[in-house]
Amino acid sequence: MDRRTFLKQTGLVVGGVIGGGIVGGLIGNAVATPEPKVEVQTVTETQTVEKVVEKTVAADYGQALQFFTQEQFEVVEAAMERIFPADENGPGAKELGAAYFIDHQLAGSYGVNGKEYMSGPFYPGEPTQGYQYQLTRQEIYEIGIKGIQDWCQKKYNKKFTELSEAEQDEVLTALQKGEVDTFVGYPPASFFSLLRTNTLEGVYSDPLYGGNKDMGGWRMKKYPGSQMSYTQYIDKDEVPTIEPVSLKSHMGH
Amino acid sequence: MATVMPQKDVVIVGAGWTGGIVAAEAAKAGLSVVALERGKDRSTADFSMVHDELRYALRYDLMQNLSRETVTFRNNESMRALPMRQHGSFLLGEGVGGAGVHWNGMTHLFLDYDFQIYTKTVERYGKNKIPEGMTLQDWGITEEELDPYFYKFVEMAGISGSDHPLRPRSWKYPTPPMKLPPALQLFYDTTKAMGYNPFLGGSANLSQSYTNSDGITRAACEYCGYCERFGCEYGAKADPTVTVLPVAQRTGNFELRPYSHVLEILHDGKKARGVRYVNVLTNEEFEQPAEIVVLCGYVFTNVKLLLVSKLGTPYDPKTGRGVIGKNYCYQVGSMGATGFFENKEFNTFMGAGALGVSLDDLNGDYFDHSDLDFLHGGMISLSQTGRRPIANNAVPPGTPSWGKEFKVASIKYFNRYLSIGCQGASLPWRHHYLDLDPIYKDRWGQPLVRITFDFEDQDRNMVKYIAEKIAEIMKEMGADIVVPGGNLGPYNIVPYQSTHNTGGAIMGADPKTSAVNKYSQMWEAENVFVLGASSFAHNGGANPTGTVGALAYLAAEGIIKYSKNPGILV
């Protein structure tokens, strides 16, 4: 089956399930768009469709690294998966691509605190005065990942990725409580807090950033993504389940 | 050497709501007007990708680039002030339209009690009710005087809303109330049954398409849930770029210069002759001479320009004398309640910035403070601004903040919790003020504004009292788990609270205790007008933009009058 036929067919399948004007617009858009990513996001309704998807869709070229080393990436990916694990609700942070998300974020302005006041002099402040380190987020991640690895070596004589899930949870709990003593230059609890925030961002941001793969994060929460209008629903008691759309669907409009 | 530009009647610093209103009114009256805006030009076309929580709500795409300029902060004078390195407690705007592009659209006029707070407090409770150190003062204006100018703002923006049961008005909102989602209907019915007086607050998100008296037509709001921190791609949310700025442009008397960062007001100590600014792209400096200089920046910009230009007498917290920097106030929160519902789902991911039901029963002086250990209060509201998935992961107390249990609960409750809030009034103190930081500088080598501010017992006592009432409402609404507010710590610049910063160039009837008169005209420099919430003598218990807009229309009238008949206008 060529991709165009596939898209048309799956589009029809999905259309039968959801209904409404939003779907119509999306399918039209999907067929006309040469990029494979988006269309797939609309078609994960049934097992059969999912299998077809795996065989048909080209590699996700966004899933490569801009900042982390492979080992750093694996630590972050494993930690994120414990923060937001796969379960009966659906995929976890790993499958949703949250670690790719933060890798890409760190490679850009966010990673070097580009729009933040980073001029000195630097003094430790009161908690009410907020962030006062001279570190960029790239440096914080370097410190954090090394701190985790050193702690795991010291306590378990293993790498973080070699630990059992229960042990990984122990490490993350120790981080959160600030009990890890292998961090140099940044508090472990603050790093944990950043990692947790970035995990949720990777799970729930628009798929254009590399996480929330196939809008799987949004679907779990019944969040419909970037809808143009809720006028027909806003004053109704029933909470509708609306198939999500991403910003990709706004291209060309 | 700065290039000297051709003379104008009016130069405006900052093209947000107040700058846009003055531009439209002055240009319509035939004055030549130029607005200098430090950020870029913007229109609805900028927002075709606006439904992006990460970019706009969490990476602050529309906000001031803090690498160039920020503020410093300390809780009190014994602390070392340190720079606000990242956005948090409040979100400063930048670019054409200013913070008026990323506002929610909640539109209220402060109460008559606010404008005459000193007189009315003393009348009802006596002088001793005002604690030592609280620099409470009247604004030199009444609600009655300001109401027609509030209506001008309402008519221009197409504000929708219902009648206010406690504040009968001579006029109706030009558009009907917005549609009520089930959660807000529940709040409305519950509070009404409890004896409160709920109403649908003024909303700048249009409930239907609307044409104002300037002939500007805008479309109805689609309840897409992307207002606060976002720009509206439909123009359904009133902002300066879809209302007043196009009106100013149409006259042919108005010029908008983006990327123009004003460094200094040029003056001789009595009158200004213009401003000096830098093009932020080329670093080229210019002088813009003008008959009238109008400061329309945010609170910190206005105060900074006055202080670095050495115009007006700086406030001295030791003596209480001087005016520039005086009475910096904020907004008091921490009294809201969150309720989790086991068996009820709400469509809270839909919404609009100003979609809400409010009540003023515990605001201002609508309730007797004789036996209470605080003054004023705040507007209580349940709003449905559109809940987005990254930032909204509330879970019942006792739930871990990560891992499987967290995931299950955060997904389960995403559409099953509601949060009632309150905009608590913030009253002024002698030791809360703005001045220039002695150490930290901006990109152009000018000192940053320094904030000295904390919460006081007045605030803590108010928070305790109102939090209890809000928790009662949440219980009555049928929430299975109610998490009340009520604990107010020290002011912390990190968690987002409110972009309602006020004061620093306050208005009043007495030149010794205020910087500007009711026309926003500087007592110490009659051809300089300083607009916006910097003129609030304290912050009231409601969103400030409606009051800012009303005062801007009054100021615009004053500016036009002044252009014909110079002198102090009162």
Of A114, A129, A240, the CB nearest to B82: A129
Report the residue of chain A nearest B180, measured CA to CA. Answer: A235
Check A222 against B389: CB less than 8 A apart. no
Q: What distance in Å separates the CA atoms of residue A87 and residue B323, rounded to the nearest whole number?
A: 60
Rounded to 10 degrees, the C-alpha dihedral A202/A206/A207/A210 comes to: -40
Of A128, A231, A253, the CB nearest to B490: A128
- Chain B residues touching residue A123 (CB < 8 angstroms): 80, 82
> Which H, E and C letters describe B477-498, residue by residue?
CCCCEEECCCCCCCCCCCCCCC
CB atoms near residue B397 (< 10 Å): 8
Check A130 against B85: CB less than 8 A apart. yes
Report the residue of chain B nearest A227, measured CA to CA. Answer: B224
Check B389 against A204: CB less than 8 A apart. yes
Which of B402, B442, B451, B497 to mutate to probe the A interface, most A CBs <10 Å? B402
Of B85, B185, B404, the CB nearest to A118: B85
Mean pLDDT of chain A: 84
> Rounded to two decimals, what is the model's pTM?
0.93
Using CB atoms within 10 Å of the CB of residue B192, give its burial: 0 to 12 exposed, 13 to 18 middle, 19+ buried. middle
Q: Which one has a higher pLDDT value, A13 or B332? A: B332
Radius of gyration of chain A (CA): 21
Residues 423-442 of B with CB under 8 A from A: 439-441
Check B490 against A85: CB less than 8 A apart. no
Residue A37 CA, distance from chain mean position: 16
Check A118 against B491: CB less than 8 A apart. no
- Report the interhelical angle of A98-107 vs A70-83 (nearest 10°): 130
B187 to chain A nearest CA, in Å?
Answer: 14
CB atoms near residue B107 (< 10 Å): 29
B389 touches chain A (CB under 8 A): yes
Q: Residue A3 pLDDT more than 70?
A: no
Rounded to 10 degrees, the C-alpha dihedral B395/B398/B400/B401 comes to: 50
Check B52 against A206: CB less than 8 A apart. yes
Q: Residue A21 pLDDT more than 90?
A: no
Residue A133 near residue A120, CB atoms below 8 Å: no
Per-residue tokens: A80: 């994120």
Check A218 against B346: CB less than 8 A apart. no
The pLDDT value recorded for residue A59 is 79
N- to C-terminal Cα separation, chain A = 29
B65 touches chain A (CB under 8 A): yes
Whether the predicted interface score ipTM is above 0.90: yes
Residues of B marked as catalytic = 500
The pLDDT value recorded for residue A252 is 82
Spell out the residues 6+ positions from residue B3 whose beta carbon is closer than 8 angstroms to its own: B284, B285, B286, B287
State which amino acid sits at residue B381.
S
Check A117 against B70: CB less than 8 A apart. yes
- Sign of CA pseudo-dihedral A23, A27, A29, A34: positive
A55 to chain B nearest CA, in Å?
Answer: 30
Per-residue tokens: B111: 């109460």
Of B58, B80, B415, the CB nearest to A201: B58
For B502, the 3-state DSSP assignment is strand
Q: Residue A245 pLDDT more than 60?
A: yes
Cα atoms in the 13 Å half-sphere on the side-chain side of B169: 20
B453 to chain A nearest CA, in Å?
Answer: 11
Residue with tokens 């602050």: B60
Check A230 against B75: CB less than 8 A apart. no
- Chain A residues touching residue B59 (CB < 8 angstroms): 110
Q: What distance in Å separates the CA atoms of residue B416 and residue B406, rounded to the nearest whole number?
A: 15
Per-residue tokens: A163: 């630990």
Listing DSSP states for B331-372 in one string gives -B----EEEE-SS----TTSB-TT-EEEE-TTSTTSS--TT-
Q: What distance in Å separates the CA atoms of residue A10 and residue A47, rounded to the nearest whole number?
A: 12
CB atoms near residue A2 (< 10 Å): 8
B4 touches chain A (CB under 8 A): no
Of B85, B180, B402, the CB nearest to A132: B85
The pLDDT value recorded for residue B383 is 98
Check B182 against A236: CB less than 8 A apart. yes
What distances in angstroms separate CA A158 from CA A146, A149, A173, B312, B372, one per listed residue?
13, 8, 17, 66, 61
Q: What distance in Å separates the CA atoms of residue B246 and residue B21, rounded to the nearest whole number?
A: 11
The pLDDT value recorded for residue B48 is 93
Count interface pairs A-B at CB distance under 8 A.
Answer: 167
Residue count (chain A)? 253
The pLDDT value recorded for residue A58 is 65
Check A253 against B82: CB less than 8 A apart. no
Tens digit of each residue's pLDDT, chain B (570 residues): 899 999 999 999 999 999 999 999 999 999 999 999 999 999 999 999 999 999 999 999 999 999 999 999 999 999 999 999 999 999 999 999 999 999 999 999 999 999 999 999 999 999 999 999 999 999 999 999 999 999 999 999 999 999 999 999 999 999 999 999 999 999 999 999 999 999 999 999 999 999 999 999 999 999 999 999 999 999 999 999 999 999 999 999 999 999 999 999 999 999 999 999 999 999 999 999 999 999 999 999 999 999 999 999 999 999 999 999 999 999 999 999 999 999 999 999 999 999 999 999 999 999 999 999 999 999 999 999 999 999 999 999 999 999 999 999 999 999 999 999 999 999 999 999 999 999 999 999 999 999 999 999 999 999 999 999 999 999 999 999 999 999 999 999 999 999 999 999 999 999 999 999 999 999 999 999 999 999 999 999 999 999 999 999 999 999 999 999 999 999
Of B75, B389, B402, the CB nearest to A196: B402
Q: Residue A113 pLDDT more than 50?
A: yes
**Would you kindly state where each structural domain of chain A is located, as residue ranges?**
3-58, 70-221
CB atoms near residue A167 (< 10 Å): 15
B414 touches chain A (CB under 8 A): yes
What distances in angstroms separate CA A222 from CA A92, A242, B416, B480, B541, one per listed residue?
16, 7, 12, 22, 35
Of B59, B70, B82, the CB nearest to A132: B82
Phi, psi of B77 (to 5 degrees): -70, -15
Q: Which one has a higher pLDDT value, A37 or B329? A: B329
- Chain A residues touching residue B440 (CB < 8 angstroms): 119
Check A128 against B65: CB less than 8 A apart. no
Residue with tokens 């990916």: A77
B85 touches chain A (CB under 8 A): yes
Strands (E), B134-174: none
Assign A57 a pLDDT band (cuts: 50, 70, 90): low
CB atoms near residue A83 (< 10 Å): 27
The pLDDT value recorded for residue A56 is 54
Q: What distance in Å separates the CA atoms of residue B504 and residue A57, rounded to the nearest whole number?
A: 60
- Chain A residues touching residue B46 (CB < 8 angstroms): none
B314 to chain A nearest CA, in Å?
Answer: 25
CB atoms near residue B67 (< 10 Å): 17
